[in-house]
């Protein structure tokens, strides 16, 4: 009998609740799911920025199986320096500090790539205030990943 194949699901969207965002890079709200090794682990991330609200709801699992969400429309409160705007001027998404400024410190690269040197910034703190259940920078708390034994499904809903 073959062993089960690992599943790593990265759910995201290049949309802005009805509008397709066409760009080389667009900030994205993410959910990452990994069911191997068991139990299933999942989390919500705005490390790469925010474009739409989302929630992850586990059904019929055992253990620590909370609903995780970042439902607020952060494009409405996004700091000006993080805004990704359309040619017409509307805010399509909210960039991370890393994407906006590309510094090693904000991107947790090179000498900043460890839990001791990668720290929250005023930009990640903006995201954390609005979405406390989400990862907001590369070395954010590991407690934000939840493990749920044998959920029948994980429902991901975009654009709350």
pLDDT digits (tens, 9 = 90+) for 12-33: 444 444 444 444 456 888 887 8
Domain total of the chain: 1
User: Does residue 45 fall inside a structural domain?
Assistant: yes
Residue 37: CATH number of its domain: 2.60.110.10
Residue 87 DSSP label: T
Q: Which residues touch 87 (CB under 8 Å, ≥6 apart)?
A: none
pTM here is 0.81
Residues with pLDDT less than 70, the chain: 1-26, 37, 160
Q: Is residue 147 part of a domain?
A: yes
Indicate whether 68 belongs to any domain. yes
Question: Rounded CA gap, 52 and 152, in Å?
Answer: 25
Note down the domain range covering 53. 8-158
Dist. CA 23–CA 11, nearest whole Å: 18
Question: For residue 3, is it within any domain?
Answer: no
Residue 1 confidence (pLDDT): 39
Q: Is residue 1 part of a domain?
A: no
User: Is residue 97 in a domain?
Assistant: yes
pLDDT of residue 37: 66
Q: Is residue 2 part of a domain?
A: no
Q: Say how many C-beta atoms besides its own lie within 10 A of residue 109's C-beta.
A: 14
């Amino acid at each position: 009998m073959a062993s089960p194949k690992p599943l790593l699901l990265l759910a995201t969207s290049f949309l802005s609740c009805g509008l397709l965002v066409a760009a080389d890079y667009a900030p994205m709200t993410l959910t990452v799911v990994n069911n191997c090794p068991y139990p299933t682990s999942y989390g919500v991330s705005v490390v790469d920025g925010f474009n739409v609200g989302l929630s992850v709801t586990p059904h019929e699992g055992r253990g620590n199986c909370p609903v995780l969400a970042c439902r607020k429309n952060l494009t409405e409160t996004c700091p000006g320096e993080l805004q990704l705007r359309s040619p017409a001027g509307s805010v399509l998404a909210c960039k991370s500090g890393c994407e906006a400024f590309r510094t090693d410190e904000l991107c947790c690269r090179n000498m900043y790539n460890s839990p001791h040197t990668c720290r929250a910034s005023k930009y990640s703190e903006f995201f954390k205030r609005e979405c406390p259940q989400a990862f907001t920078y590369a070395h954010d708390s590991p407690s934000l990943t939840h493990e749920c034994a044998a959920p029948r499904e994980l429902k991901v809903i975009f654009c709350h």
